[in-house]
Amino acid sequence: MQRPLTLGKIEEAINNASSYQEYREACEAHDALAGADEWKAKDRDRGYDYRLIRKRVERLKFARLHGDPAGLMSILHEGIHGNLGNISNPELNNYCKIGTKNLIQEFLDEVCEALSMIYHADENDIDFYEKLSFFEETYYAYGKSCLMLSGGAGLGFFHCGVVKALVEEDLMPNIISGASAGSIITGLVGTRTDDELKDVLTAESIHERFRQWSVWQGFGKDGLLDSTNLENALIELFGDMTFEEAFKKTGRKITITVSPADLHQYSRLLNQKTAPNAIITMAVRASTAIPMVYSPVQLRAKNASGQIVPYIPNRKFCDGSIMADMPFQRLARLYGVNHSIVSQTNPIAVPFLSRNKKHVHDFASITKRHLFNLTKMNSIYAFDLVENAIDSRALKLGIHKIRSIVEQQYVGDINILPQRSMRNISKIFSNPTRGAIQDLIDSAERATWPQMDNIRRNTQISKAFRKYNKLLKKREQQLLSGQSGLRLVKAG
């Protein structure tokens, strides 16, 4: 007779799962046995406005069942955003291994059903341009999710596992930023389709290209490491593709951050909006130019005739993570982003970030957070005083860079972090073995699994918006092309 499963056995299965499917099934079994399913079934909870969400579900369902797409548009126009009624409250993740309140999931599903009905509505009732206007305006108001990949030198291969896990579950946002080591993986994501990514995001493929990225060349040079092997790997991966060309191929809006190598300049976000003709290879090479380790570089772009020319002449750029490791606010302005998923491997930040998914609000925790923020503000103040007091340009530049590192925010709404270990520290500047890369990829996938269901919920509605908005935009182009053709026929 088979012995019944205990919570201990299920937790062991969770820890030893070899795939996300195994992990998910074990988490579902844990929630069933631990009583979390009962918690999910009860609407009432102080963590969110269950009355508001229940009422909104009833109104959406009523309009949908009565075939009223105009009514659905009106309900959604009233105000829909990612944290309506506090449904994205991280406290709600503390009660179960996977999933959330059934009412919250029902609300998300009803919104997606409503969007589908509006999109498919008879155009005698809601004409095409009314639909297009609704989806454009409401999608922008609702907001989008982005994935930000941090710096981390040799630890940056961790990002491969995060991206791999998201791609396999069809949860990859189409707005991605990368700094330093993260810029390499961002470049891969922006220049490869999902099928191509599955081939390139392997330990074998990564090791083949980056097994000799760290080559000592000594003091007295522009950098301590020789960048030849790194540059050759980047050329092999990206060639002379521009940000605009990459966007046309994959539809992904990738951003590479770079920092100025001199004073009185700001970090730049390079993407298909801000720098459409800039060459990705040189953007990534600049973003990976850790000061004193690799020499700063000048960017390149294609001109109108396709020739490669200097971009922002007389300026050189270096490591993007120095001033823009997590450029959330600027992505928000460019793309309407209001939710972030962060893969964080920056050795400056990782040791100080919590891996506990519980969000505590006791007196000690609140005081600790306040003291941390106070220390940060005082440090920035001290750096400003010192920078203004000295005359040496080199010292000013160094202090300015350190100030930028201290001032930054290194976390997002959902954070995926590597485990703390001495082995990981040793990987920062060493040439990787294939086994070491595989370990990083495997550990990254495992670190992503506990966040996967949360990511799915937080991106469910924006993913539906994106789908229907894209279809309508495509049809608009067809209509405009048809009208142009008709005018040409008449003119002929």
Cite the active site residues.
180, 319
End-to-end Cα separation, the chain, in angstroms = 85
- Alpha-carbon distance 313 to 465, whole Å? 40
Contacts of 431 (CB under 8 A, 6+ apart): 154, 211, 212, 213, 214
Phi-psi region of 66 (alpha: psi -120 to 50; beta: other; left: phi over 0): alpha
Phi, psi of 254 (to 5 degrees): -95, 145
320 contacts 179 by C-beta, under 8 angstroms: yes
Nearest to 376 by CA among 328, 413, 408, 342: 408
C-alpha dist (Å) from residue 159 to 265, 331, 437, 438: 29, 19, 11, 12
20 contacts 170 by C-beta, under 8 angstroms: no
Angle between helices 20-34 and 434-491 (to 10 degrees): 100
Q: Where are the alpha helices (DSSP H) in 299-415?
A: 321-324, 328-335, 363-389, 393-407
**Residue 3: DSSP 8-state:** P
Nearest to 203 by CA among 444, 449, 452, 447: 444
Question: Alpha carbon 332 to chain centroid distance?
Answer: 12
